[in-house]
Amino acid sequence: MAPPPAPPESLEVIAVLQALADPVRLDLVRQLSESDAPIACGRFDAPVAKSTLSHHFKILREAGVIATHRERGQALNVLRTAELEAAFPGLLGAVLPGVRAHVA
């Protein structure tokens, strides 16, 4: 089981920026930002192997960008939008439009 998410005041800007610096992870964050519900690990559209995808989720979790919980045998991921906005106002709003334009 993943450790509980870090509180917003403990998020570190360098860890968050490093997590968002990878194109695959940034696209995972984009997909989460466009979803109204948690997304199971196997439902992401990503051009990497399952083991590599698992590594990317770990990096995002450890940085505090996403939270993962298990439900009915599935790992469900959510973007920690409120926590990120509280810690770094405007960060997601500045980063995600560029990802959407690049992917579209």
SS3 4: coil
Q: Is residue 58 part of a domain?
A: yes
Do the domain assignments include residue 13?
yes
pLDDT grade for 27, boundaries at 50, 70 and 90: very high
101 falls within a domain: no
Q: What band does 5 get if pLDDT is binned at 50, 70 and 90?
A: low
Reply yes or no on whether the pLDDT at 46 is more than 50: yes
In contact, 79 and 34? CB cutoff 8 Å: no
Q: What is the CATH number of the domain that holds 62?
A: 1.10.10.10
Number of domains in the chain: 1
In whole angstroms, what is the distance from residue 46 CA to residue 12 CA?
26
Tell me, yes or no, whether 100 lies in a domain: no
Average pLDDT of span 38-57: 93
Q: Which domain holds residue 81?
A: 9-95
Average pLDDT over the chain reads 89
- The pLDDT value recorded for residue 86 is 94
Give a yes or no: residue 87 inside a domain: yes
